[in-house]
Amino acid sequence: MPKLSRSSLALVAMAIVSTAVMDAVGLSMFSAFTLMVLIPLYWLLTRHTWKAWGLCFGRPIDYGLAVLYPTFVMGSLVLALIAGGADLSATDWSAAARGFAIMAAATVIGSLITEEGFFRGSLFIAAQGDGYSVRQSVVFSSLVFSAWHISWATLSEEGRVALSILPVYLINAALLGAAWGLIRALSGSVLVPSVSHGIWNGAAYTLFGFGSEGGLLAVDNALWLDPERGLLAVVLSGLYVAWLWRRLNQTAA
């Protein structure tokens, strides 16, 4: 990969360090909002156009890809639970629908001005400005996205995971970043992956839980069946990322 510029390295360092400080002092619920400062700061320094930033609407097919990703992963995990003998008859699906709608809507807006706006916006175009190809920008932003989650998983009370699961969690984070980066590359929009991010959080946190809080579904084996800490999710997200990568190659051909 081409060498990163000092401004790009500073952007990465500020994102990771500022978030880690927030997580370390007990403000992890607000740590993502440090990215809200970096997004306009980078824009003021570079003056990229709105379109280059990805602030545009994608095509209907792009939103289809965005919705299909969390649907494929969450649906497969629920089917795996049922196949494993889980009894979902007592699940309050109306509460699940309400929780999903609230979380999804909040995440679409919140991620657009934080995680998606930064990783699939600022960092994506910063990498391309340093000579990275679209594919290299996807890989780079995904790895940084995963590294950015380390402090959440190790320093925060809400999101702390066991050290034995941490590698799986970070791989899942990288695959999430890759999926949303590829959706951004295919659509040219940061709004489209924000929608996917919203549906993902809405389904994952309502059904499977958020950090130390459990979800509506009883998942006894997080190492296998959790959407962000489980091995099955690695396989499912990996398959979807591979499919999106192929679509990107076909589009570029």
* Residue 53 pLDDT: 85
Give residue 252's pLDDT.
75
How sure is the predictor about 89, in pLDDT bands with cuts at 50, 70 and 90?
confident
Long-range pairs for 39-43: beta carbons < 8 A, 24 or more residues apart: 39/113, 39/114, 39/117, 39/118, 39/121, 39/122, 42/11, 42/122, 42/126, 43/122
- Give CA–CA dist 105/102, Å, rounded: 5
Domain annotation covers residue 46: yes
> In terms of Cα–Cα distance, which of 76, 114, 74, 83 is closest to 206?
74
pLDDT computed for residue 253 by the predictor? 62
Q: Which helix (H) or strand (E) holds 210?
A: strand 209-210
Beta bridge partners of 210: 213
pLDDT tens per residue, range 171-187: 999 999 999 999 999 99
Band of residue 212 on the pLDDT scale cut at 50, 70, 90: low
d(CA 99, CA 204): 11
- Residue 1 resides in a domain: no
**For residue 50, what pLDDT band results from cuts at 50, 70 and 90?**
confident
The structural domain count of the chain equals: 1
Q: Is 76 helix (H, G, I), strand (E, B) or coil?
A: helix
Instruction: Using the predicted structure, report yes or no on whether residue 214 has a pLDDT greater than 80.
Output: no
DSSP state of 5: P
Whether 100 maps to a domain, the answer reads: yes
State mean pLDDT over 32-41: 93
Domain annotation covers residue 234: yes
Backbone φ, ψ for residue 17 (5° rounding): -70, -45
- How much is the mean pLDDT over the chain? 92
Round the CA-based radius of gyration of the chain to a whole number and report it. 18
Domain extent at residue 108: 6-252
Please answer whether residues 193 and 180 qualify as being in contact, where contact means their C-beta atoms are separated by less than 8 angstroms: yes
CA distance 131 to 43: 18
Would you say residue 145 has pLDDT above 80?
yes
Question: In the structure, what pLDDT confidence band is assigned to residue 52 with cuts at 50, 70 and 90?
Answer: confident
Structural domain includes residue 161: yes
Place of tokens 């097919």: 61
- Rounded CA-CA distance 221/204 in Å is 15
Q: In this model, does residue 166 exceed pLDDT 90? A: yes
**pLDDT for res 186:** 97
What pLDDT is stored for residue 206 in this prediction? 92
Residue of 199 and 28 predicted with greater confidence: 199
On whether the CB atoms of residues 226 and 232 are closer than 8 A, the answer is no
User: Does residue 116 form part of some domain?
Assistant: yes
Please check whether residue 238 lies inside any domain of the structure. Answer: yes
Do the Cβ atoms of 66 and 183 come closer than 8 Å? yes
Residue 181 included in any domain: yes
